[in-house]
Amino acid sequence: MPNQTPVTQDSAIIRKLASFGALSSTDMTVLSDLHQRRRRYASGREMVRQGHRNRTAYILADGWAVSYILLPDGSRQIVDVRIPGDFLGLGSMLFNKSSQNVEPITTVEASEIQESDLLSAFAATPNLGRALLWAASRDQSMVAGRLTSLGRRQAPERMVHFLLELGVRLRLVGLADKTGYACPLTQYHLADLLGLSPVHVNRVLRDLREAGMVTFQNGHVAFDDLPRMVAFADFDREYLDDKVPAQW
Amino acid sequence: MPNQTPVTQDSAIIRKLASFGALSSTDMTVLSDLHQRRRRYASGREMVRQGHRNRTAYILADGWAVSYILLPDGSRQIVDVRIPGDFLGLGSMLFNKSSQNVEPITTVEASEIQESDLLSAFAATPNLGRALLWAASRDQSMVAGRLTSLGRRQAPERMVHFLLELGVRLRLVGLADKTGYACPLTQYHLADLLGLSPVHVNRVLRDLREAGMVTFQNGHVAFDDLPRMVAFADFDREYLDDKVPAQW
DNA sequence: CGTTTTATTGAATAGCCTCAATATCGGTGG
DNA sequence: CCACCGATATTGAGGCTATTCAATAAAACG
């Protein structure tokens, strides 16, 4: 019965999918059933490992994780930040080996999903399959957006753009409002995410703070001047709002 | 009967999918049927436009295209190069609006696919749906790979890595061999693809050529020293080879 | 052939990085 | 409860990578 005070408790994915269209009660039931094998994962311990065979996926119920690619020189690129309501490791179901690592950055609560369960869920309600495919495509288009940021935006714009995008995603699951959100990412995470050095991340954040635009401090992101952020980073307000599943 | 001299003629997608596992004759028939509405598109004319409603996808039979995101300052980021055998605009089937543009860079032959046709194809042979999902995931993991390149590799490594990756993809459809491949991309395309300026692309290519590693000239990519390229760019030989659909 | 793309090279500059040092925070054990 | 220690954050200095501006050459195209 997902009806507790913290909105994140396993209903995150339901909330997310529902915000884009009606989920039938069947959809919700099937979705809840996927949440059987709920487990807890400690921060820092990889859940999915690059190059390893692993045919399970997860639904993130609580906590944050990052998926990343490791280069042999030791550097890494974080491909995506995963927040409550997101799927983890869907790719490893399709391939023999995962091409990315997934590591919790806080204590994480997630439900293990076996391929067979997912397939039968799809069979039970095609609508749900469509919704999940939509969510996956949305994730993909966000990665393309980040690629664009890395390729064609300067560090400060890149930073603001990311912080806004994350805000939109968090709002979908009730973890952010117009003033900002709690954020467990460190400056090192931001560096690996945005293709910068930690030192430069620090300077950029200081400049943005002093400019009165956005404050990233003490595990909290505060939008000091949202309109200016949007203009500065050229953030498409429709960015994710509009990515509603077709036909809904 | 796709059995002409140029291997690319509409059989590219069959060849690609088949190279990763047996396609039943039913699969092949259904796949061929999707190739009904074959059309020709002139280079430079957008096939899919960012922010536009468009519920059709395409299978690229012949020619090359790029999908890209346009920024308001006029710069652009090419997200992916699409070659024969690839799908185009799958994302626009799921969303109301496409988030990317697709533009042919040569004259292109492609088959229009309506959503309904695709769905019935999936219904007819689930195996095919799985194969296409696999192909889509493979594309996605390549974008993640490029993100990693932009974030964490220097321009020369980035360049070599991309040229190798493209070579692997082209080999799958018989358009490349160990010595290199024909490539209609300009240095401007490479710049928009790799997040560099055209000027720097030019210098990097010259350096690589003079170093005897790879020659990009006159619409042709020549691997002058493949082993050295692989080592230099730290290219994972299993990169795509290993991304075989699970259970095949 | 002229005209427009595409490629090429030089010079100066800007953005971001590395190295290095110090400060602060958060947790842990005595 | 405090001292300590590792992780995180902060700032300066100098250097390297890649950019912009600018000019010219060479192809591609109609």
Interacting residues of A23 by C-beta distance below 8 A, sequence separation 6+: A14, A17, A31, A127, A128, A131
Spell A153-192 as b/e; 16+ CB within 10 A means b.
bebbbbbbbbbbbbbebbbbbbbbeeebbebebeeebbbb
Q: Residue A140 pLDDT > 60, yes or no?
A: yes
Nucleotides of chain C within 7 Å of a protein C-beta? 5-11, 15-20, 25-26
The pLDDT, as a whole number, for residue B143 is 95
Number of continuous H segments (helices) and E segments (strands) in chain A = 10, 11
The 3-state DSSP class for residue B61 equals strand
- The arrangement of strands across the sheet holding A220-223 comes to A176-177, A180-182, A220-223, A214-217
Q: Which two tokens stand for residue B56?
A: 């059709």
Residue type, A171: R
pLDDT tens for each residue of B51-101: 887 788 999 999 999 999 999 999 999 999 999 999 998 877 777 778 899
Residues A245, A131 contacting (CB under 8 angstroms): yes
If one counts every other C-beta atom within 10 angstroms of the C-beta of residue A69, the result is 22
Inter-chain contact B146–A147, Cβ cutoff 8 Å?
yes
**Residue B69 CA neighbour count, 13 Å, CB half:** 21
Q: Residue A242 pLDDT > 80, yes or no?
A: no
Residues A17, A131 contacting (CB under 8 angstroms): yes
Q: Does B144 touch chain A (CB under 8 A)?
A: yes
Give Dmax over CA atoms of chain B in angstroms.
54
The pLDDT, as a whole number, for residue A10 is 56
Q: Does A42 touch chain B (CB under 8 A)?
A: no
Q: Which residues of A fall within a CB distance of 8 Å from B97?
A: 242-243
The pLDDT, as a whole number, for residue A238 is 61
Confidence of residue A120 (pLDDT cuts 50, 70, 90): confident
Long-range contacts of B227-235 (CB under 8 A, 24+ apart): B229/B160, B229/B163, B229/B164, B230/B164, B232/B156, B232/B157, B232/B160, B233/B153, B233/B157, B233/B158, B233/B160, B233/B161, B233/B164, B234/A71, B234/A72, B234/A73, B234/B157, B234/B161, B235/B160, B235/B161, B235/B164, B235/B165
Q: Residue B2 pLDDT > 50, yes or no?
A: no
Question: How many whole angstroms separate alpha carbon A222 and alpha carbon A220?
Answer: 6
Strand D near-CB residues (< 7 Å), A 175-234: 186-188, 198-199, 202-203, 205-206, 217
**CA–C1' gap, B32 and D17, in angstroms:** 49
Question: How many whole angstroms separate alpha carbon A247 and alpha carbon B135?
Answer: 24
Question: How many whole angstroms separate alpha carbon A105 and alpha carbon A192?
Answer: 13
Interacting residues of B107 by C-beta distance below 8 A, sequence separation 6+: B40, B41, B42, B43, B63
Q: What is the mean pLDDT of chain B?
A: 87
Helix (H) / strand (E) containing B137:
helix B126-152
Q: Rounded to two decimals, what is the model's pTM?
A: 0.91
Q: Which of B99, B77, B200, B193 is nearest to A158 (CA)?
A: B77
The pLDDT, as a whole number, for residue A29 is 86
Question: How many whole angstroms separate alpha carbon A220 and alpha carbon B126?
Answer: 46
Q: Which of A193, A231, A182, A191 is nearest to A211 (CA)?
A: A231
- Residues A36-47 have a mean pLDDT of 88
Nearest nucleotide, C1' to the C-alpha of B194?
A: D18
Q: C-alpha angle A10/A13/A19, rounded to 5°?
A: 130
Share of chain A above pLDDT 70, in %: 90
Per DSSP, what are the bridge partners of residue A69?
A77
Q: Does A91 touch chain B (CB under 8 A)?
A: yes
